[in-house]
Amino acid sequence: MAAPLFSGYQQARGAATARNKQAVERKKRDKAARSLAKGKKGPREFKQKSLKDMEQFALCDAMRYLRAFEVGREPAVAKYEVHIRLKTRRDGPVIRNMIRFPHSVQTESRICVICPPGSRHAKEALAAGAVLVGEDEVFEAVKNGRIEFDRCLAHPDSMAALTKAGLGRILGPRGLMPSAKMGTVVEDVAARVGMLRGGTVYRERDAVVRLPIGQLGFSPEQLRDNLRVTIDQVKKDANNLQDRITKEIYEVVLSSTHGPGFSLNGEFKSEDTVDPALLTGA
Amino acid sequence: MPNLMKRLRKLKTVLNVRVGTGAAIFPSAATATPEYPAVTRLHLTYARKIYGGHQGARHFWRNCLTRLKYHNPGVPMTVKQTENQEGPASLTVYFAEKLSKAASLNTADKDEHAPAPSATEKTATVDVRNLNYTDIWMKVKNMTGAQEVAATEKEQEELQKIEQEAQKSVKDRARIAAMRQAKLDHERMLAAAKGEAAKLSQG
C-alpha cells in the first residue's frame, strides 16, 4: 500500500516537475520576449510618413512664398535653407561632409594663415584669399588684441613657433587656436583656405541633413545650381558609405530663416509661376 | 523634422499670405494708367517699440507687406527699424516718372532712411504714426490704385475650415484642461486621505 502511494507520490512529483519544466520554459520564453522588447529601441528605421497629403511646390513657387515671408529683411542676412530627409536606419554611420557651392552663401569670412613668411605656402595662401599670413607679425597682432579674422589655419612647420608664442590663452576661448584634431593644421594650406571661404559643413541628424544654400537675394537659377550641387553631393556621400548601408533621399524641403518649410516636387517652375527674373534681390 | 501633421497645419498659414488685408496688385509698367503710374518700390521706417504710435507701422509690415510682396514679387520692399521712438514712422512709395494725384497731396517730410530714388522715380512719403494698419493700407490703396485680389471660392472655403478648426480647438482646450484638472484634484484628494490614514494609524 505504501509502495503505490509512494510511487504515486513520485509520479505526482514527477508530473509536477514535468509541468514545472514546461512552466519554466514558458517563463524563459516570456522573459526572452520581454527582454527583446526592452532591448529593442523601437523600429530599426526612421518612420517615414506618407507624403500623399503633403502639398509639394515647384522651386520658383516656394521661393515666391519665402520671399513674402522674409519681406523687409536684409537680403544678405536672411538665408534659404534646405532640409534633406533621408530614408535610413536609426543606427549606423551618418553623412557628414563639407560642400562648396557655385554661389557662395556666407558673406566673406576672413581667414588667417600661420606659416613661415615668404615660403611657398604663404604665397599660395595669399593667392587663395587669406587676409593675414605670417608668423611673428600675426602673433604680435593677436597679443595686442587685434584679431581681425574669423578662421585660423596653421602649417605644421609653424607649429613649434605657435606653441612657443603661447597664444592658446587668447585664441583658445575664441575657438581659433589651430589644432590637428580640428583639421586646422594642414600641409596644403591654400586648398583649405579655398574650402573654408566657400565651404559649408553639414551633417545628418535624425535622418535629416540641414544646411543653408543661398542668400535671399539669389536668383532662382543661382539657388537651383546650389540645390543641385547639394543633392548630388549628398547622394554621392550616401553611396560612399559602406556597402551594406543604404540611404536614399526621401524628401527635399526648402525653407528660410523666418519662413515655413515647403516640400519641393523637383520642378523648377509650374504653369502659374511668375517670371523668375522677378524673384531676385530685395 | 517636425511631424507631418504639424507641418501640414503650418503650411495652411500660407493661405494667409495670399488673402487678407493688403492682398493686392500694384499697377506695373504694363498696367499703369495716367492717373495711377507704376509703383517701383516701397520703403517703411518705424521705431523698435510700439509706444509713440509705431504699432500700426509694424503691423503693416507683418500683415500687409508680406501679402503685397507675394502679389508683387518684382517690387523691392525694404524695412528699417530705428531705435528712435520719437522719430518718424513713415512709408515711402516710389512711383515711376510721376506721382499719382492722391500721392502728390502728401506733404510729410522725406524719410532719411529710405533709399534714394533713381532719376526716373518720384517718391511720396506718408506719415503713418498713430495709424492702425488697416488705415495705412487704405491710404496706400488710394494713393497707388492697387487692385485688390479677392479670395476665390476655394480659398474662402479653406479659410472657413481653418476658422472652424480654431473654434473647435478653443472648446477642446477647455475640455482637456478640465480633464487634467479633475485628475489632479483626484490625486490630491487621494494623497490627503492617505496622509489622514497614516496619522490615524500612528495615533
For A147-160, what is each residue's pLDDT tens digit? 666 777 777 777 77
Q: State the DSSP code for A258.
A: S
**B74:A275 CB<8 A:** yes
What are the cell numbers at A45?
528605421
CA distance B8 to chain A (A): 7
Q: Hey, is the C-beta of A71 within 8 angstroms of any chain B C-beta?
A: yes
Phi first, then psi: give them for residue B143, nearest 5 degrees.
-70, -40
Write down the pLDDT at residue A129. Answer: 66
Both A231 and A163 in a single domain? no
Interface test with A, best of B61, B69, B92 (most A CBs within 10 A): B69
The C-alpha cell that represents A254 in the structure block = 526648402
Nearest CA to A189 among A115, A139, A136, A256? A115
Residue B44 in contact with partner chain A when CB distance is under 8 A: yes
Classify residue A219: in a domain, yes or no: yes
Mean pLDDT over residues A233-258, rounded?
A: 87
A254 against B104, higher pLDDT: A254
pLDDT value at position A139? 72
- Choosing from A169, A195, A221, the residue where a domain stops is A195
A273 in the same domain as A226: yes
Domain boundary among A146, A174, A195: A195
Q: Side chain identity at B119, as an amino acid letter? A: A
Specify if A61 maps to a domain: yes
- The answer as to whether A45 is a domain residue is no
Q: Tell me if A112 sits within 8 A of A149, measured CB to CB.
A: yes
Residue A224 has pLDDT above 60, yes or no: yes
Backbone phi, then psi, for A172, in 5-degree steps? -55, -55
**Same domain as A254, residue A222:** yes
Report the 10 Å Cβ neighbour count for B147. 14
Task: Find the distance separating the first CA and the last CA of chain A, reported in whole Å.
Answer: 107
How many residues are listed for chain B in this entry? 203
Is B10–A55 a contact, with Cβ atoms under 8 angstroms apart?
no
Residues of chain B with Cβ-Cβ distance to A275 below 8 Å are 74
Report pLDDT for A36: 55
A/B interface, count of CB pairs below 8 Å: 64
| Chain-chain contact of A261 with B7 (C-beta, under 8 angstroms) | yes
Q: What is the pLDDT of residues A47-103, one digit of tens each?
A: 888 888 888 999 999 999 999 999 988 887 888 999 999 988 888 888 888 888 888
The reported pTM is 0.74
pLDDT of residue A29: 67
Q: A31 falls in which pLDDT band (50, 70, 90)?
A: low
| pLDDT band, residue A198 (cuts 50/70/90) | low
Q: Which of B62, B57, B51 is nearest to B92 (CA)?
A: B57
Please check whether residues A267 and A130 belong to one and the same domain.
no
Q: What is the CATH number of the domain that holds A171?
A: 3.40.50.790
Is residue A274 in some structural domain? yes
pLDDT of residue A10: 43
Given CB atoms, is B82 within the 8 Å cutoff of chain A?
A: no
Residue B72 φ/ψ, nearest 5 degrees: -130, 70
Residue pair B18/B6 in contact by the 8 Å Cβ criterion: no
Say if A231 falls within a structural domain.
yes
Domain annotation covers residue A131:
yes
For residue A96, the model assigns a pLDDT of 82
Q: To the nearest whole angstrom, how far is the Cα of B180 from the nearest Cα of chain A?
A: 29
Q: What CATH number should be reported for the domain whose range is B20-148?
A: 3.40.30.10
| Look-up of cell digits 604680435 | A140
- At residue A97, φ and ψ (nearest 5 deg) are -165, -175
Q: Report if residue A104 sits inside a domain.
A: no
Determine contact, residues A69/B17, Cβ cutoff 8 Å.
Answer: yes
Residue-wise pLDDT for A94-149, tens only, equals 888 888 888 877 766 677 777 777 777 777 766 666 677 777 777 777 777 666 66
Check: CB of residue A75 under 8 Å from CB of residue A281.
yes
DSSP SS3 for A229: helix
Question: A152, A170, A195 — which closes off a domain?
Answer: A195
Residue of B nearest to A47 (CA): B3
For B182, the enclosing helix (H) or strand (E) is helix B153-202
User: Are A71 and B3 inside 8 Å of each other by CB?
Assistant: no
| Gap between the Cα atoms of A67 and B70, Å rounded | 7
Chain A 257-276, CB below 8 Å of chain B: which residues? 260-262, 274-275
- Burial (CB < 10 A; 0-12, 13-18, 19+), residue A198, is middle
Evaluate the CA torsion angle A272, A277, A280, B1 in order and state its sign: positive
Residue A39 has what pLDDT? 59
On whether both A179 and A211 belong to a single domain, the answer is no
Is residue A154 classed as helix, strand or coil in its secondary structure? Answer: strand
Residue range of the domain that includes A217 = 56-90+207-278
Domain ranges of chain B: 20-148, 151-203
CB of B76 within 8 Å of a chain A CB? The answer is yes
Rg of chain A (C-alpha set): 30
Domains held by chain A: number: 3
Cell of A30: 516570456
pLDDT at B184: 97
Q: Do B77 and A282 touch (CB under 8 A)?
A: yes
H-type alpha helices, A40-158: 59-69, 120-128, 136-143
| Per-residue model confidence as pLDDT tens for chain B (203 residues) | 788 888 888 888 788 899 988 899 999 888 888 888 999 999 999 999 988 889 999 999 999 999 999 999 989 999 999 998 888 899 999 988 888 777 777 767 777 888 888 888 888 888 888 999 999 999 999 988 899 999 899 999 999 998 998 899 999 999 999 999 999 999 999 999 999 999 888 86
Q: Is B78 at the interface with chain A, CB within 8 A?
A: yes
Q: Tally Cβ neighbours within 10 Å of residue B158.
A: 16
Local structure of B48: helix, strand or coil: coil
In a domain, A200, yes or no: no
